[in-house]
Amino acid sequence: MKYPFPTPRQPGNYDPVAAADECCVSDYGQSKTQQSQADDADINTIVNRFLKTGYLPDDIRAPVHADFDEIYDYHSAMTAVAEANSSFMKMPAATRQRFNHDPQEFVAFCSDPSNLPQLRELGLAPAEPVSKRETPPPAEKPETGTVLT
């Protein structure tokens, strides 16, 4: 029998499941969460990276070049494409946006040698190696017994 007025909740008449059903939203609709970003958003992953590198996660990983000599069939080709797309999606959103979120546009940009300075600015290519300066020859030592003025 339901009472026309609310009754106070007490240990004997309180059902937590029924109370949750009364006051909570149960239908949120379709999720808009991108699961591809789950690892980068996981606090454990962020802390582990920080402990290893000492930097917070704003770094960009350099693209990985692979050897595709072992692709002989459709399945292995599609697996390689899926792995390439996955690697592209692990890049920060700002970098992906620069390439219109298109891995093919990114590959075309990286394939052009004239874009190497821009890739270095983005942190997608290793820094230019520092050339060793030629050291001047050592000064001649004065002969023993001579006085320098």
Where are the chain's structural domains?
61-122
* Model confidence at 146: pLDDT above 60: no
Task: Name the burial class of residue 63, with classes exposed (0-12), middle (13-18) and buried (19+) by CB atoms within 10 angstroms of its CB.
Answer: middle
pTM of the model: 0.40
Condensed to tens digits (0 to 9), the pLDDT of residues 47-98 reads: 888 888 877 766 556 556 666 677 778 888 888 888 888 888 888 888 888 8
Confidence of residue 103 (pLDDT cuts 50, 70, 90): confident
